[in-house]
Structure 1
Amino acid sequence: MSSQDTSPTPYDRPDGVTIYHESTSVVAVIEGITIVVIFLGALVANLIALATILRDKVLRRNLHNWLILNLIINDLGFTIMNISFLVVSVFDNGNFLYHNKVVCFINGNVLFAFGNFITVLAISVDRYLAVVWSARFPPSQSRTIVFIVFCWVAAIGSSFPSLFGVVSAIGYQEISQSCCSPEWQEDCFYSTILNVIIYVVIVPTMVFCYVGVFLNVWRQQRLLRSYADEKPSIVSNVCSVEDNDDDDDNHDHVTDTDHDMQLDDIDQSSEGPTCSDLTPGPMDYSQSSNIEEPDAEHAEGENEEKKTIQQENMMTGTKKKDRRSMQKKLNIDKRVALTGTLLVLTTLVCWSPYCIVYSCLLSINIPHWMGVATVWLGYSNSLFDPLIYSFMNRRIAARYRDMFRRWSVGLNAVIRCNSGEA
Structure 2
Amino acid sequence: MSSQDTSPTPYDRRDGVTIYHESTSVVAVIEGITIVAIFLGALIANLIAMATILRDKVLRRNLHNWLILNLIINDLSFTIMNISFAIVSVYDHGYFLLHNKAVCFIHGNLLFAFGNFATVVAISVDRYLAVVWSARFPPSKSRTIVFIVFCWVAAIGSSFPSLSGVVSAIRYQKVSHSCSPDWQEDCFYGISLNLIIYVVIVPTMVLCYVGVFLKVWRQQRLLSSYTDEKPSVVSNVCSLEDNDDDDHDQDRVPHADNDMPVDGIDQSSEGPTSLNLTPEPMDYSQSSNTEEPDAEHAEGENEEKKTIQQENVIKGIKKKDRRSMQKKLNIDKRVALTGTLLVLTTLVCWLPYCIVNSCLLSINIPHWMGVATVWLGYSNSLFDPLIYSFMNRRIGARYRGMFRRWSIGLNTGEA
**Fold conserved between structures, TM > 0.5:** yes
Contact 2:240–2:246 (CA under 8 A) maintained in structure 1: no
Structure 1 gap ranges (5+): 1-10, 255-260, 265-272, 417-422
Shift of 1:408: 1.0
Q: CA-to-partner distance for each residue in 1:263-318, whole Å, 9 max, x for gaps? A: x9xxxxxxxx999459999x9998469x85x8776665544443332222211111
Residue 409 of structure 1 is matched in structure 2 by 408
Aligned counterparts, 1:169-318, within 5 A: 169-176=169-176, 178-233=177-232, 243-248=239-244, 276=259, 287=288, 301-318=300-317
Paired positions, count: 380
Contact 2:94–2:178 (CA under 8 A) maintained in structure 1: yes
Q: Which amino acid in structure 2 is aligned with residue 68 of structure 1?
A: I
- 3-state SS of 2:179 partner: strand
Contact 2:246–2:312 (CA under 8 A) maintained in structure 1: no
Q: Out of 136-145 and 225-234, give the one that drifted further.
A: 225-234
Return the alpha-carbon distance in structure 1 between the equivalents of residues 289 and 22 of structure 2.
117
Which has the higher Rg, Structure 1 or Structure 2?
A: 2
Residue 136 of structure 2 is matched in structure 1 by 136
Q: CA-to-partner distance for each residue in 1:67-105, whole Å, 9 max, x for gaps? A: 100000000000001000001100100011111111111
Shift of 1:224: 1.3
User: RMSD between aligned alpha carbons?
Assistant: 3.1
Residue 344 of structure 1 is matched in structure 2 by 343
Shift of 1:415: 2.0
Q: CA-to-partner distance for each residue in 1:219-243, whole Å, 9 max, x for gaps? A: 11111111012235379xx9xx994
Shift of 1:18: 1.9
Residue 82 of structure 2 is matched in structure 1 by 82
Return the alpha-carbon distance in structure 1 between the equivalents of residues 379 and 245 of structure 2.
44
Aligned counterparts, 1:143-154, within 5 A: 143-154=143-154
User: TM-score with structure 2 length normalisation?
Assistant: 0.85
Structure 2 gap ranges (5+): 1-10, 265-282
Residue 72 of structure 1 is matched in structure 2 by 72
User: TM-score with structure 1 length normalisation?
Assistant: 0.83
Q: Which amino acid in structure 1 is aligned with residue 386 of structure 2?
A: L
Residue 41 of structure 2 is matched in structure 1 by 41
- Residue 13, structure 1, aligned to residue 38, structure 2: no
- Residue 319, structure 1, aligned to residue 315, structure 2: no
Return the alpha-carbon distance in structure 2 between the equivalents of residues 234 and 394 of structure 1.
34
Residue 268 of structure 1 is matched in structure 2 by none
Return the alpha-carbon distance in structure 2 between the equivalents of residues 242 and 401 of structure 1.
35
Return the alpha-carbon distance in structure 2 between the equivalents of residues 234 and 165 of structure 1.
72
Return the alpha-carbon distance in structure 2 between the equivalents of residues 399 and 308 of structure 1.
47
Return the alpha-carbon distance in structure 2 between the equivalents of residues 131 and 47 of structure 1.
29
Q: Which amino acid in structure 2 is aligned with residue 32 of structure 1?
A: G
Q: Which amino acid in structure 2 is aligned with residue 27 of structure 1?
A: V
- Residue 105, structure 1, aligned to residue 108, structure 2: no
Return the alpha-carbon distance in structure 1 between the equivalents of residues 45 and 316 of structure 2.
45
- 3-state SS of 1:64 partner: helix
Residue 6 of structure 2 is matched in structure 1 by none
- Structure 1 residues 21, 242: closer, same or farther in 2, change over 3 A? closer
Q: Which amino acid in structure 1 is aligned with residue 211 of structure 2?
A: G
